[in-house]
Amino acid sequence: MAASPLCPPARAPWTAFFLFAPERWPVAPAGDPRTSADLSRLEARWREAIEERLRACLALAEAGVTIEDPFTTYLGPEVRVGAGTVLRPNTTLSGRTVIGRDCLIGPNAVVVDSTIGDGCQVVASVVEESVLEEGVQVGPFAHLRQGAHLGPGVRVGNYAEVKASRLGRNTQVNHFSYVGDAEVGEGVNIGAGTVTCNFDGREKHRTVIEDGAFIGSGTMLVAPVRIGRGAATGAGSVVTRDVPPGVVVVGVPARPLEGGGARDESGREQLG
């Protein structure tokens, strides 16, 4: 097959593959050397960028990293990735990102200036200036913003956002929630639609959720507020005051459940 101006002969395994459609580009008028020269320079820059990206992918492959589609994988010069990790298509790793061993990153993941421990999964999500300890699962469609720190085994699911917060071991934020400026303990379940209402219009305030708490779906936690160890909130509660350990609160504003509503150490509700 004859080489086109934008698809030169294959001098290396990758140089014959360009992910562009030349027929869609405006054609330079005949005899216009300026436009032709501009296209030639553009072609050269694209070819150089593609080859540089593929060289970076090849270096990781030689170190034991699996890259499913090097043509859609973008790696910054300071990125480090551990052996056994799989980078799926449309993955971008930039800044001083460090990814551990045996992770699954992508497809459609963006990781910026973050540290990801061994055995993590980040699927179709954005991770910025965050720390993920081992065994964390993120996504799809989650957003970890600056200052997020996820402990071992944490799960942050679809359409959840975490910012400037620390989540303890095995805590789950499975869907449709915002956790900002919060300290969350171990083994906490944060139900769908929960929001830490951290901004009062002038200042940010912190939320503390202690170990083993259960946050019901649609709960609004109006900071500053503390949810005690093993406490629970009913679905749709608006919590404006601290909740003591083991107490179940419901309603707007949230109040202790009539009949006691304490929870034992296993997290089971004890009424009456």
pLDDT of residue 271: 33
Among this protein's residues, is 175 annotated catalytic?
A: yes
Look up residue 263 and give its DSSP letter.
Answer: E
Per-residue pLDDT tens digits for 220-258: 999 999 999 999 999 999 999 999 999 999 999 999 987
Which amino acid does the sequence have at 191?
G
Nearest to 219 by CA among 186, 243, 201: 243
Residue 86 burial (10 A CB sphere; 0-12, 13-18, 19+): middle
Exposure of 181 in the CB half-sphere (CA atoms within 13 A): 15
- Kindly give, in sequence order, each residue whose CB lies less than 8 Å from that of residue 50, ignoring residues fewer than 6 positions away: 14, 15, 18, 71
| Per-residue confidence (pLDDT) for residue 270, from 0 to 100 | 42
What pLDDT digit, counting tens, does each position of 132-190 carry?
999 999 999 999 999 999 999 999 999 999 999 999 999 999 999 999 999 999 999 99
Domain 164-257 has CATH 2.160.10.10: yes
pLDDT value of residue 40: 86
Query: Which position has the higher pLDDT, 258 or 111?
Result: 111
> Angle at CA 164, nearest 5°, toward 162 and 169?
65
Strand partners of residue 179: 162
Is-same-fold flag (33-135; 164-257)?
Answer: yes
The answer to whether the beta carbons of residues 238 and 253 sit under 8 Å apart is yes
In the chain, % of residues over pLDDT 90: 76
The closest of 131, 171, 140 to 153, measured between CA atoms, is 171
Tokens of 148: 């997020």
DSSP, collapsed to helix, strand or coil, labels residue 34 as helix
Tokens of 237: 């509660």
Q: Determine whether domain 33-135 maps to CATH 2.160.10.10.
A: yes
pLDDT of residue 103: 98
Q: Catalytic one among 143, 149, 175, 205? A: 175
pLDDT on residue 79? 96
DSSP annotation of 267 = S
Spatial separation of the C-alpha atoms in residues 122 and 143, rounded to whole Å: 10
Q: Letter for the amino acid at 200?
A: D
Q: Name 174's Cβ contacts closer than 8 Å, sequence gap at least 6.
A: 155, 156, 157, 158, 160, 190, 192
pLDDT for the residue 20: 43
Q: What's residue 61's pLDDT? A: 96
Counting other chains too, the contacts that 5-14 makes at CB distance below 8 Å and 24 or more residues apart are 5/39, 5/40, 5/43, 6/43, 8/47, 12/51, 14/50, 14/51, 14/54, 14/70, 14/71
Q: DSSP character for 10? A: -
In the chain, domain spans: 33-135, 164-257
DSSP letter for each residue of 190-232: E-TT-EEE-B-SS-B--EEE-TT-EE-TT-EEESSEEE-TT-E
